[in-house]
Structure 1
Amino acid sequence: MEVFYDNLADWWPVISPLSDYTGECAEIRRVLKALRPEARTLLELGSGGGHVAFHLKADFDCTLTDLSPAMLEVSRRLNPGCRHIRGDMRTLDLDRRFDIVLAHDAIAYMTSEADLRAAFATARRHLAPGGLA
């Protein structure tokens, strides 16, 4: 996977076109707005090339995190107004709370119960009171 998310990161927009996310992100936005209409800040764990954030950034102040510096660079070009931070969803600690913490498909890379628990602990650590993960 390192080759894909590092050496081939610039190909992400071709491999996984932005338009492929339109419908799914519309549904994510609808659910988030229905459950937390007052939410403004969003932390995405494992944001990759930033395709999800591209569709949500008009409604939320997005902070995007990923392990891959190359994928974060792809996302920076697509989402210049969002904060980008290199970090592991299992250990990240930004010393900040968010209205929403989102882990889209990157959560599938948690291949053990311990990794999954660590990612959930990260989400909880970053949630504001009454926040949504």
Structure 2
Amino acid sequence: MKKPYIILIIVTVFAMFLAGFYYERMHIKSNKEIWIGYNYTKFGKNEISFKPMYIERQSGINQLEEIFLYSKIIDHPTVDLAKYDIQLSFKSPVDQSFEYSSLLWFTKSGAILKLNGFNGFRSVNIDNAESIKKIIKYTEF
């Protein structure tokens, strides 16, 4: 007689765990949006095409910001500054204002970053550059 109650309790606890996990996974919204601008001036067009990027989890945006902020400061970048690959902007969905923007050049040794609003350039290694590409779902032309 006690065995059905124990099974019922176990099933109920398991269902509550799954419901909580599902609620947490589906209802955590990021507090920032990312907008990607692909630079088509490299291909003879004089335009930048911006599109919003949906990042599933806030942890992806946090990882992206950590890569940017903890990158190595460099004095003289070795890339053509007029031909950047993408412009990446962080936007607040609450008031629809851009918090900050950056330009990225992907190279064979990683990436060069120019954070607008900050002086100078920064570089990241190949692993961090691949992480950036994965997070923003970078399309290479």
TM-score by length of structure 2 reads 0.28
Which one scores higher on RCO, CA 8 angstroms, separation ≥ 6? 1
Higher alpha-carbon Rg: 2
More helix by share: 1
